[in-house]
Structure 1
Amino acid sequence: MPNPDPMSDQNPAIHEKQYASNKWKPPVSIRPTRELLEVYDRWIARTAERRGARMLILGSTPELRDLALAHGLVPVSCDHSPVIWESMKALMTQRGPEEFLQVNWLEIPEAHPYDLVAGDGSLVMLRPDQIEPMLLKIAKLLAPTGAALLKVGVRSRPFAPKDFTDAVAEYRRTRPPMSLHEYVLILVTELRSDRYVDWTLRELWERVLFAHLTPEEIAEVRPCLLDARFYTPTKADFERMAAGCFTVEQVVEAKGPGQWGTTHLYVLRPVIAAGG
C-alpha cells in the first residue's frame, strides 16, 4: 500500500501489532459476499486457463488467495507487512505456493505483466490524490488481455447523519450476526468521505455519531475505533478516473448485511495505450 500517515492507524507498525496478536480480523461487512466471490471465481478460473498466468492481489485478502490456489495459480500478494500476510493464512482453507511482495503499490515493478490484478476494498487505503495514479499503475501492470477486479466504495449519492441513524435503527430492529461497528463501517467511511474528509474516523464517531448511540453502544464501539482516513470517491469521479486507462466490462453491486454504503465490484479491461 502507499505510505500511510505515521500518526494514523494505517501505520504499518500499528497494523503489525494488531495482526500479530490476532486482535484484528477483517470485519464481516467488508469481506467479499457470496455473490462477489462467484464473480471473482469466474474470472480467476478463466485466468488460470492461460499457461503461466500471473495474478496480483493488492493486500492479503484470504478469500482471493484461496480462489487462486484452488485454480492452480500462485497468487502474488502485495502488502506493507509480511506479518499481515502470514496472519491472514489463519482465515484460509487452501494451502499451496504463494509469493509475497513488500513494496509501495505505486512502485510495483512493471517488468512482468499480470493477467489479473484484484483488490477487494484495497483502494480505500489511498488518499484522494492517489486513486487516479493507482488506476494507471494497475493498467500498466496488466497484460493487454488482462483484467482488473476492484471492489470499490463509490458514493452514488450524498450521505448525511440521518443515513447513520437509519442504519442504527435497522441494526437494533434486526440484530444481525455482527457488531454495530461492523454493520455501519462502510456507511461511516462514506459519510466521512462526503462530509468530514478532514477528520479521522475516530473524530467523526466521537464528534457526531456517538450522540445517536446509547451508552452501552458507545462502550461497544469505542475499542474498535481507528485514527484512519479511509476514503471513497464518488461513483462519477471513480468512473471518470478509470475511463482514462480502462474500459468497464462489468459492474456488480455488493449487497449484504451492513451494506448501507454503495460498494461495487468493477471488472476493468486495460486500454492498450495505458501501458505506453
Structure 2
Amino acid sequence: MIVLPNIDILELCFNFKNISAHKKVFDIVYNGTNEICFSKKYIAFLEQSISDTALFEALITELSDTGRLRIETTTEKNNLREEFIEIATKSNISVLIPVVYDDVTNLQRKIPALLIVNKGAPVNMHWIKLELLSNHKCNVSYQQFNSNAEIETLFSNLFAIPKIITDVYVFNRQQETRFLSNVSGLAINYYTFLYRGSKMNEHELLPPKRDLKKILGNRLKLFYTGNARLIHERKIIFDELLITIDNSFENVVINEPTWEINVSYDRQKATKWKSKCANFREVRGN
C-alpha cells in the first residue's frame, strides 16, 4: 500500500526509545512492503520542521535505495499543511492512505479519507486502514458487530479504500449479490458453479446471469465451471484487496454466530487467485 505520513507520524517513528508504545505506527513506515509518498516540496518543508533532520534524511535515503519512495508532483504551496492536503486530495494514486496520529488541526475536514491512528477502534474505518497498513490484513468475526447495519458498513468502508475501482472479481459457488451493491454498475467478473447435467445447454445458464445483472448492472460478466472441486471459496477481489468470507453472504448476520471475514492487501495473492479464471467459461448472451 502507499502511505502519505503526516509529520506527527514521522516524529513517532523516530522515537526509537518508545517503539513498543507506537508499534503500529512504526510498522506502517518500516515494514518494508509499504511505499511512502512525498513530494519534493513536502520533503523540503519536513526538513525545515522535523526535530531530527538526520534521521529523516536517512529514511528518505533508505526508501529510495529499497524502491519504496514515491514522489508526487504538486503545485507550489506555502506551508507543510497545505502541501500534505494537496498530495492527499489531488494525487491519482488509487490506494493512497494519508495518515496522522492525532488530527489536532482538523485535516479530516479537507481530507475525508484521512486515517487518524488514535481514532482506530474495531471495526471502524480508521482501524481497518491501520491494520491493513501495519499488517496487510485484518480479521473480523460476528463477535465484533452489534447489528447487521454495522456489517454492511464494513463492506462500504472496504470498497471505499481505493479512489477508483476498475474491476471486481467475485468467486462464489452461489450467485449472491449481498454486499456488492457498493460496486453495482462497475465491471464485475463473477465466477461461480453451475451444473445442469452432462448436456449443459447455454440457454439454461442465462437465468442466473440475468438475475445478477438486474442488481449488479449490465457490465457484469458471469463465468462458470461444472467442476465442484474448482471453486469452494467465497472471495471478492478489487485493486489488490482480497475479502474472504467463510460462510454464505446471506448468512453473514449477527444472529448466525459462525462466520469470519478475512481482509488482506497482497498483490501476489490477488494475481494468483485471478490466475484460476482461465479455468472458467463465460456465459454468453443476455
Q: TM-score, normalised by structure 2?
A: 0.30
Q: Which has the higher contact order (CA 8 A, sep 6+)?
A: 1
Q: TM-score, normalised by structure 1?
A: 0.31
Larger Rg: 2
